[in-house]
Amino acid sequence: MAKLLQTPTATPSQSAETIVFTSGSSIRISRPASAVFSTILNTKSYSAWNTSNPRVTFPDSERGGEAEPESWTTGASGILQFHMAAPSSSSSATQVPVKVLSVREDPAQGEYRLEWQGQMLPRWFGMAERVQSVRAVGEEECELVQWESMSGWGVYVLDWVLGIRKQMDKVNLRYAEDLKMYSER
């Protein structure tokens, strides 16, 4: 079962002191870390397992259309389809522009990490950054630790008006459980 993480946690562009809140989760998965990280990077598989973000597209400016690469790449900008509530509810998906800050793989150490930033809000209003870390715990098991930290005065408004913190907690727990179920199938 996924564990909720709420301690303000730094991201590439945000120190822990500037964060309004962090929402994340951790879970053990009975699969090698490299396999789980490959699932996270493989955007084509999202519709099969990722109920929170069932689609990610990256505009392909050279061809003038949309391309769906098999994996996130450092520096890429894309659109994440996001469901705050469970997709079976009446909620509609929100299209969130994202920028990939880094993708790091260190098979020798059994550590893998994806970092990206939401580009939906103006930076002066608020910033959201997400870190997804997978580390090996033996050969056939790993731990996913992932968090999204939000900063900026506008985040207080979003939390007060929309209760975004509690909603994000549910989404992050669901994401971890979805990934575990799909990876262990």
Total number of domains constituting the chain: 1
pLDDT of residue 63: 46
Arithmetic mean of pLDDT, 29-34: 98
pLDDT of residue 62: 44
Domain holding 149, by residue range, is 3-183
Q: How would you class 2 by CB atoms within 10 Å of its CB: exposed for 0-12, middle for 13-18, buried for 19 or more?
A: buried
Q: Percent of the chain beyond pLDDT 70? A: 89
Model pTM score: 0.89
**CA 144 – CA 175 distance, rounded (Å):** 11
The CATH number for 156's domain is 3.30.530.20
